[in-house]
Chain A
Amino acid sequence: MLVTWAYRFRNSLMERIDPRTRWIFSLLFLFSITMYWDMRFLLFFFAVAWLWYAGARVTFKETRRAWLLVTMLLFSMVIVNTILTGGGASGVVQGPGHPVYAVHFTIPVVGWTVNFSLTIERLWFGLCQIVRVWSISAIFIIIPYSMDPRLYGVTFRRLGFPDRFAFSMDLAFRYVPTLARDFAVTLDAQRARGYEIERVEGGLITQARRIAPLIIPVTIGSILSGEDMVNAMDLRCFGLRPRTWIVVTTYKWFDFAIIGFGIFMLIASIILLFYFHIGGFWVPPGIIPG
């Protein structure tokens, strides 16, 4: 079984940006965009997100699976929660609204009355949800495709996380191929004994019965090898002094510019929302009849 990271070197603009800058900007973007339900502002964030996405030189074909997942969840949420039940729009969309389509009927036998009214406001809110979630997704989906897994440990260390946490992170990434190999060996061994692990029929209990002989040996085996690793590290006095890292991360002028832009975005959003009360849900007057 081959484990491959989604990352490969693309010589992109994104790879020239310091990884710390990328995390900082992504989080500043997230906190800024979640203050808005106004499409005019959301479109600005949408443009910024797609510029950011384009900078990674990641093809749509590569990220198709992730987009499919996000879009499927998003559309089921918008259709069921905002358009059909109106639940997601409550609190944001105020008032009865302007109906596009209304239906009222009584269910025979039980006598329940159904009053469904689809309004322009709810449709517009659904559109705002799509733009907002797609923008956030564009920022976060490209991370695995454009950030070298070897950089995670040092990046989080330089972001101020404890040394041991960063080392643990680094170690985990290095363990992945070893554990994948152990998993493959165990899988083959169990197959040789007649286990049909890949059969997807049956309920959860059947799946649990199939999966346990696979998970237990791999887990216990890795704990045993971990004990040896602990001993080896203890013998080398691990943790007595702060670690040094092979990779050196350095901020360049454009890193400061990106972080500055992110901070500006967040502060401007806070001022606009809390001082000027701008950025809440807004419907273009042109689409409201009369």
Chain B
Amino acid sequence: MNKKLWQFGTREVVFAAIGAALYGVLAWATNFLQIPGAGNVSVRPAVAIPMFFGVVFGPVVGFIAGFLGNIISDLLSGYGFWFWWDLGNGIQGLIPGLIFLTIVNYRDLGSIIRAEIMVVLGVIVGMGIASISDIWVSGMDLLTVWTVDFLPAFITNAFWGLILVPILMVAYSAVQLRSGR
């Protein structure tokens, strides 16, 4: 079956939903993990889920998994609805998905490196857009947005993405062989 980059068929509908639910549940369930010494700043290992779903199922799936997953996580935690952060999380999943067509073997070192580069790029653009929106909403200046919003989000998200996405890719290659897709 021919794959298209922006395809959104049955397979994409299902995996976007699974990705979003996984991201939402895992982000909510791992709230207990915090950056040592920085009270109430939770680290979210689940951010790797939309990135991984983007790499494996395409940019549309990555975007919906991130966008919707962040909404679900906030709904479960009761934090409200913050559209610009949902959008940023969506972009974080969309950008790694742009190399979806180029990856055939998920164990291949070259594919993993390409995915890692896109993960970092996705975090920069996604969290950058979400952070910059605070200038518009709250009247913060660029330096504060950089230090208060962007840097902590970038460091933790890139860290989890860089560690978990390759592990998930290798694990998925076994599933791919089994499902034949």
Proximity bits, B5-16, A CB within 8 Å = 1, else 0: 000111111111
Contact B68 A172 (CB under 8 A): yes
* Distance in angstroms between the alpha carbons of A164 and B74 in the assembled complex: 23
Proximity bits, B140-165, A CB within 8 Å = 1, else 0: 11011000100000001001100110
Contact A223 B78 (CB under 8 A): no
Q: Which residues of B contact A89 (CB under 8 A)?
A: 139
Contact B141 A81 (CB under 8 A): yes
Task: From B17, B40, B178, give the contact of A72 (CB < 8 A).
Answer: B40
Task: From B26, B82, B141, B143, give the contact of A183 (CB < 8 A).
Answer: B26
Q: Which residues of A contact B104 (CB under 8 A)?
A: none
Does B175 have its Cβ within 8 Å of any Cβ on chain A?
yes
Chain B residue nearest to A6 in the complex (CB): B78
Interface of A is mostly: helix
Task: From A76, A180, A204, A230, give the contact of B10 (CB < 8 A).
Answer: A230
Chain A residue nearest to B163 in the complex (CB): A208
Residues A227 and B179 in contact in the complex (CB < 8 Å), given A200-B34, A201-B36: yes
List residues of B (123-141) whose CB comes within 8 Å of A's CBs.
136-141
* Distance in angstroms between the alpha carbons of A201 and B12 in the assembled complex: 38
* Distance in angstroms between the alpha carbons of A172 and B77 in the assembled complex: 16
Contact A223 B15 (CB under 8 A): yes
Contact A133 B22 (CB under 8 A): no
Contact A216 B136 (CB under 8 A): no
Contact B68 A226 (CB under 8 A): no
Contact A90 B76 (CB under 8 A): no
Contact A88 B76 (CB under 8 A): no
* Distance in angstroms between the alpha carbons of A211 and B33 in the assembled complex: 9
* Distance in angstroms between the alpha carbons of A168 and B69 in the assembled complex: 11
List residues of A (1-60) whose CB comes within 8 Å of B's CBs.
1, 3-7, 26-27, 30, 34, 37
Contact B144 A80 (CB under 8 A): yes
* Distance in angstroms between the alpha carbons of A90 and B159 in the assembled complex: 33
Q: Which residues of A contact B15 (CB under 8 A)?
A: 223, 226, 230
Contact A1 B29 (CB under 8 A): yes
Chain B residue nearest to A239 in the complex (CB): B10
* Distance in angstroms between the alpha carbons of A4 and B29 in the assembled complex: 12
Which chain A residues have a beta carbon within 8 Å of chain B's beta carbons? 1, 3-7, 26-27, 30, 34, 37, 62-63, 65-66, 69-70, 72-74, 76-77, 80-82, 85, 87-92, 125, 128-129, 132-133, 136-137, 140-145, 149, 162, 164-165, 167-173, 175-176, 178-180, 183, 198, 200-204, 207-208, 211-212, 215-216, 218-220, 222-224, 226-227, 229-230, 233-234, 238-239
